[in-house]
Structure formats: C-alpha cells, structure tokens
Structure 1
Amino acid sequence: MSNGNSVTIVGNVVKEPELRFTSQGVASATFSVAVNRRWQAPQSQEWEEATSFFDVTCWRELAENVSESLERGSRVLVTGRLEQRTWETPGGEKRSRVNIVADEVGLSLRWATGSVVKNERRSGGRDVSQESRESTTVGYNYEEDPF
C-alpha cells in the first residue's frame, strides 16, 4: 500500500462473519474483532487492561473465504486500510465510523493450530474446471521419478 494508510491488527473475532452480495453479485463480508491491550501502571505496578473493537469489511473471494473459515472466538490477523464513513441521522446529528477494509485475513497460530485448504483458482470470474487442469498435465506420468 503506497498511500501510507495501512493497519494491522491481531485479535479475536467477536461477531460471526456476515456474507452478503451486491446487486452485481460481488461478495462482501463484515465481522468484528476485539483487540486486547494489557500494561502495568508505572505508579501502582498493577495490571490494567483495555479492549478496542474494530469492524472489518472484506470483498470478493476474501469475503467468501472469511465467511467459510472464521467463527466467533477465532484469533486473527487483519491487514488493510482504514476507511471513514460519515452520515447524518434523521435528527440532524453528524456521525462517523472508522472501518478496516481488509486486504488479508489470516489465523493466528500463537495459541492454536490450523490447516490450509486451497480453493480452486478462478480465471476471468469463472471456476477453472477439473477438465482444463487435466489438459495442462497430459503426457506427464506422475508415477515416474522426476530426477
């Protein structure tokens, strides 16, 4: 991201991903992440804690993968950009909200294990069929030693 507007957070999913589609069929998923911060107060030497909540929006394939993979409580890493949205209430109050538009979302393996399952690659918005993948490997014998 060359514009300088980038953020990375690590936290726990507190709101299950909600998958929606635009009228053009583009997938969008939203979920919330809680980020805990703990520090020791210099004067009292007692531990203090604060929690911040962030709303995250994902688009396209990332949105579909997030909605299938994440659940409440999952520890995640989110990298993206901050986006501020402003609006006016019917009563005339101005409101705003800062949201993270995700470029990448991954599971944190600090206190858990995970496995990766690759999705089929998409070409031009369509799934690449098994038939076309097989045609690219015709003539190769997988039983032969490659060396």
Structure 2
Amino acid sequence: MAAIKEIQVTIDCAEPARLAAFWCEVVGYVTPPAPEGFATWEEYHHSLPAEERPVYFACTDPTGKGPRLLFQRVPEGKAVKNRVHLDVRAGAGLVGDERLATLEAECERLVKLGATHLKTLYADGENESCINMQDIEGNEFCLD
C-alpha cells in the first residue's frame, strides 16, 4: 500500500474567499497576499465580472504541518448536516473546568467572527466538554 504524503480538506461553499478568511482566523492559517492595488482577495474578486471570479480559494498552515484547506464554490446551498466536519482542538490536553473555560472563551471569539454557537456538551464523567458550532455558511464544526 502506498504511503499518503499529505491531505487537503475541501469545503463546498458560496463565497470561497470569505469562508477562507473566516477559517484563517479560526485556525491561524494564511492566504496568499492579495494582488497589488487590492486590500483583500474578496475586494479583488468583486472587481472581476461574475463569470471570471474564481471558484476555488485556498489557505494553508504557515508551519506546514496542517492540511491545506480548499474552499470551492458550488451552486447549491447547504441542505443537511455535514457528513464530515472539522474539530478545532482548542482544549486539547485540558480537563474539567479549565477545559470548559478555554472552550467557552474560544467560542466567544468565534461568535464575534460570525460563527454560531449551537450547543455546549458538558463533561459527563466519560466524555469531556465540547461545543458544537457552525461557520459563517452554516457548516458544522466542533470546539474540542
């Protein structure tokens, strides 16, 4: 069996550059610099005729350790729960009240970026706390 060298996570969306910018803020990834004369990629894309706007936009882990995230525009909107979702490991290694406080602080930060807090699942003696959320286009993810 061949060894897998790297993976890319691809997310369907309506506005690739906007969703990429959101996820860069969430996980500390970066996008390539915007073209000269434009403050952001979104500004650049909106300067183009609709038929020339790119359907993909990527962001990467500046350390090179994490997978590339690729956002691709699709015509249909999200209709059902994701079959695959991202876990943002904000509380990795933490337990109890310290973990919950860390997750709640991160949740508050992400809500300010446009995410939606769906539900907090509290520690139950078997599982630690986690928080279910949605990104700015309604894709589910967890703060773990």
* TM-score > 0.5 by shorter chain: no
TM-score band, normalised by the shorter chain? under 0.3
Normalized per residue, the structure richer in strand is 1
TM-score normalised over the length of structure 1: 0.23
Normalized per residue, the structure richer in helix is 2
